[in-house]
Amino acid sequence: MEPAVAAKILDHLEKARSSPRSAETWGKLGEVLQAHGLAREASECYLAAIDLSPREFPWHYLRAHALRGVDAALALAQTEEALRLDPAYAAAHVLKAEIREQQGETEKALASYEKALELEPTSAIAAFGAGRLSLSQGNLDRARALLEAAAGLDPEAGAIHASLAQLYRRLGEDDKARAEAETAFAKKAAVGVTDPIHFRMTQESVSSLVQLERAAAASEAGDFRRAEEIYRGLVELRPDDADLRARYGDVLVQVNQTAKAREEYLGALGTNPAHAAAHHGLGNLRNLEGDFEGALSEYRASLESRPDHVPTLVNFGALLAFQGKGNEAEAAFRRALEIEPTAFGPNRQLGELLLKRGDVAGAIRHFRAALEAEPDSGPVHFQLAMALASTEQFGPALEHARKASALGHPVKPDVLSRLEAMAARGGGR
């Protein structure tokens, strides 16, 4: 095992040997083992904890989780024992439903999902499970209510949208079915479940895979200091992993450690000279430093191995536009829009380019598309206001200028006053 994993298991094993009559110690060893994929061994530790403290709900519940992939019948019995101790823990009813469903007992599984939903009306996974089984039974009205509720509770879960697509097809609502199928393809998240006991167990993992997931989650949440700390440890463990080093470089840029970020990007390229993300990150650094030719070279290298990466295409096109290479820039932006027609970046950048060329109608169209993606972009509201004003659409121009100002974009008072005057004279079309 990875050294950090081995050290943690050995530490908790020694604690259990030193305190063999402690239910807490055996239970904690079970959590550490289960968090690292050792389900059978974890179930034995939970059993030891249960023998020492039979009324502790968590050890029964976690043992049921550990056993579900080993012995479904025993896992179900352990779940029922846990529910006798705490019948109000909704996640345990979800676990019972999942095991029942695995055994082909649809009616009993549905009853357990509905019990979980009764206890926790905001449970997306309970609504999803009950909706999915209602759909399989042909109860389309009930399935619709449950699946649409589940989608509202967890809109990022692709599986919910996939089931909605099936439902709408059966109802003959083809447009909705197609839209949900497209959403299901785009959404990759699993259906969420509120389960603090199981979550606590998973947090015991120190494996590099789990640490990588935590680092990515921290980056997504904007906690770049935490992400930097995790990536640093992972790179120390796996210094020849180009992906890790490139991701670490991206986080270092966010915490203003650009010199160290450069080292990581170059380290990634030392391992894999064609690594697209490392070339992209290095291109961004060179762009910031004013080395525009160097940045373009890095972006080109990145696009050779990852030609459909929209952020690279946008940065590449923006730099080309800055250098006055309008045709090449337009080609980059249009390629990005072929890949993601509704993306903010290429729509905004293409709008700016078209406005400079005098294609005001085209600019307006792309600014509007950009605002569909990011309606709170003050700069784009202002750009759209100026484009509309140039075509004497003063009323709409005034609305967007006011919106830009409300969002914090600097708008000179005389600009607003002129637009107000023109709109008042009948330029509000």
Task: State residue 208's pLDDT score.
Answer: 86
- Whether 233 and 158 map to the same domain: the answer is no
The H-assigned helical ranges of 19-86 are 23-35, 39-52, 57-67, 72-85
Count how many residues are written for the chain.
Answer: 429
Write the CATH number for 26.
1.25.40.10
Question: Domain containing 258: what range?
Answer: 208-307
**Average pLDDT, integer, range 177-181:** 95
Q: pLDDT digit string (tens) for 287-312?
A: 999 999 999 999 999 999 999 999 99
Question: Domain check: are 181 and 259 in the same one?
Answer: no
Tell me, yes or no, whether 193 lies in a domain: no
The band of 186, judged by pLDDT with boundaries at 50, 70 and 90, is confident
- Give the contacts of 249 (CB within 8 A, at least 6 positions apart): 261, 262, 263, 264, 265, 268, 278, 281
Tell me, yes or no, whether 153 and 235 share the same domain. Answer: no
How does pLDDT run across 126-156, given as a tens digit for each residue?
999 999 999 999 999 999 999 999 999 999 9
User: What is the residue-averaged pLDDT of the chain?
Assistant: 95
How many domains is the chain built from?
A: 2
Residue 195 lies in a domain: no
Which alpha helices (DSSP H) does 306-393 contain, by range?
310-322, 326-339, 344-357, 360-373, 378-390
* 287 and 178 within one domain: no
* Residues 86-98 pLDDT 10s: 999 999 999 999 9
Last residue of a domain, one of 307, 323, 352: 307
Is residue 428 scored above 80 in pLDDT? no
Residues 29 and 145 in one domain: yes
| pLDDT for the residue numbered 238 | 87
- Would you say residue 295 lies in a domain? yes
The reply to whether 137 and 91 lie within a common domain is: yes
Same structural domain for residues 154 and 56? Answer: yes
| Tens-digit pLDDT profile for residues 316-326 | 999 999 999 99
State whether 121 and 159 are in the same domain.
yes
pLDDT, residue 16, reads: 96
**Residue 378 vs residues 24, 240, 375, 405: alpha-carbon distances, Å:** 55, 43, 8, 7
Query: Is pLDDT above 90 for 328?
Result: yes
Distance between CA 303 and CA 315 in Å, rounded?
Answer: 11
Assign 429 a pLDDT band (cuts: 50, 70, 90): very low
Q: What is the pLDDT of residue 406?
A: 95
In a domain, 302, yes or no: yes
**167 pLDDT exceeds 80?**
yes
pLDDT score of 425:
84
**Residue 264 confidence (pLDDT):** 97
31 and 172 share one domain: yes
pLDDT in tens, 352-393: 999 999 999 999 999 999 999 999 999 999 999 999 999 999
Tell me the HSE value of 336 on the side-chain side, using a 13 A CA sphere.
Answer: 27
Is residue 161 in some structural domain? yes
Among 265, 282, 307, residue at a domain's last position: 307
Q: Does residue 65 fall inside a structural domain? A: yes
In tens, the pLDDT along 261-272 reads: 999 999 999 999
Q: Do 61 and 179 reside in the same domain of the chain?
A: yes
Q: Are residues 213 and 166 in the same domain?
A: no
**Is residue 164 a part of any domain in this protein?**
yes
Asked whether residue 115 is domain-assigned, the answer is yes
Name the phi and psi angles at 209, rounded to 5.
-65, -45
Q: Are residue 92 and residue 167 in the same domain, yes or no?
A: yes
